[in-house]
Amino acid sequence: MLIRSFFNKLIRLVKGNSDDSVVEDYYRKPSKNDIKNCLASWETFKKMCGNSYVYVKKTGSVLDNFYYKTLVIVEKGNVTKGYQTKHMRNYYPAEFEMGLGGREKENDAKVQQIEEIPLSSEEISSLTTLDIVYSFIKKLPKISYRRNYITFITDNRDLVIHAGYSSKSCVDDCFRGYYISSLTPLKAQHERL
């Protein structure tokens, strides 16, 4: 347990997240109790915001060099709007320096939003509420931990921000799951705008 705590703090440090707003245990199989607590938190959140919220899901490269962020607006349990942005990490030769063993080491490569993509009504209709994510996490305890890397991360509200799995034998981007980078009640989102 002490080693796990050390590695979780190391992950936070590397990711630049020194606070405890994210409870990370990167590759762990969630217990039935974890799922139960998470589902209860989700139901409380939905009730508190009248099932109207805004979430941002992130999809793309396993190495975070290229990705999309999709902002989804849910009003009273129905997806009403969606927007997508395309992001890319810029690398310039001057931004690399040689590290140990002659490997290149990243030095503050900048992430740039390179394109804003409006979604068609057909694309918006394919977006889902977060209920699909919470249905998905119910299956995680049944996934083989021996054959898969399982990811289950919650925020300080005990709501899922990253959940899924990928085969240990996979050599490509085989992640099956969800990465929710932001979740706010719709009312709070409108107050910010």
Q: What is the spatial distance between Cα 93 and Cα 104, in angstroms, rounded to a whole number?
A: 10
- Read off the pLDDT of residues 3-44 as tens digits, 9 standing for 90 and up: 444 445 544 544 444 434 444 445 567 888 999 999 999 999
Tell me which residue has tokens 């941002």: 56
Tell me 101's DSSP state. G
Does 52 score more than 50 pLDDT? yes
Q: What is the spatial distance between Cα 175 and Cα 179, in angstroms, rounded to a whole number?
A: 10
Q: What pLDDT is attached to residue 62?
A: 55
3-state DSSP assignment of residue 161: strand
Neighbours of 134 (CB within 10 A): 20
- Read off the pLDDT of residues 143-171 as tens digits, 9 standing for 90 and up: 888 899 898 999 999 999 999 998 988 87
CA 6 to chain centre: 22
Tell me which residue has tokens 């490509």: 172
DSSP output for 67-91: EEEEEEEEETTEEEEEEEEEEEEE-
For the chain, give the mean pLDDT: 76
Beta-carbon contacts of residue 34 (< 8 Å; ≥ 6 apart):
152, 154
Tell me which residue has tokens 């021996």: 146
Q: What is the spatial distance between Cα 26 and Cα 150, in angstroms, rounded to a whole number?
A: 8
Q: Is the pTM of this model over 0.85?
A: no
Among 17, 23, 12, which residue's Cα sits nearest to residue 155? Answer: 23
Instruction: Give me the percent of the chain exceeding a pLDDT of 90.
Output: 39
3-state DSSP assignment of residue 35: helix
Rounded to an integer, the average pLDDT of 171-186 is: 88
